[in-house]
Each structure stands twice: as C-alpha cells, then as structure tokens.
Amino acid sequence: MDKITSFTGQASTASANAVQRGVESAGAALHQGIDKLADPARSTVDSLSASAHQTVNSLAGSAGQVADRFANETRKITEAPRKALDYSKTSIQDRPLEAVGLALALGFVFGRLTAR
C-alpha cells in the first residue's frame, strides 16, 4: 500500500508541478504579449509627451515675448502725453510769437465752427 500511496503522491506532485509550469508558462506568455503591445504605445506616449512639453515651452516663450512687448507699448503710450507736453513747451519757448499766432488762428477757426 505504501507503494501505491507513494506512486499516487508522486503522480499527484508531478501533475501539480505540470499544472504549475503550465500556469507559469501561460503567465510568461501573457506578460510577453502585454509588453509587446505596451512598448509601441509607450514610445508613442513618450513622443506625444515630449511634443506637448515642447509646445508648452514654445507657448510660454511666446507669451513672455508678448508680455514684454505689451509692457513696452504700454510704457510708450503712458509717456506720450508727457512727451507731447514737453515738445509743446519747447516749441512755445523757442518760437513764442508763432505760438501766439497759432493760438489766435485756432481760436478764430474754432469760434467760426461753433457759431453756426
């Protein structure tokens, strides 16, 4: 009886080992299949990610340039009235008689336009 029990136990162990090897083999095949499918997807995702980062960096650089240009133009617009006033003061100081004559002429024209 010991021989039968021993034989049955060995067969049972061999069968269990065969099933275990089959499961491991199937698992390894599944892992290889998954890796085979995932590798191209991974490279595509990496490529898309790099492209997206490059686009964001480009947009950030462009936005910075636009902000700098906007600040420069805003400064110019803010300084324009002061420059016009300085130019007017200088022109009046350099040619006072012409300035008075121009003021009289503008006053006359403005008066004629509003009188109608």
Task: Tell me the pLDDT of the chain (116 aa) as tens digits.
Answer: 555 455 455 656 777 788 888 888 888 888 888 877 777 877 888 888 888 889 988 888 899 899 999 999 999 999 999 999 999 999 999 999 999 999 999 999 999 999 87
What residues have CB less than 8 Å from 91, skipping those under 6 apart? 99
Query: What is the per-residue pLDDT for 7?
Result: 47
Ranges of H-type helices in the chain = 2-94, 96-115
Q: How far apart, in whole angstroms, are the C-alpha atoms of residue 52 and residue 23?
A: 42
Residue 95, helix vs strand vs coil = coil
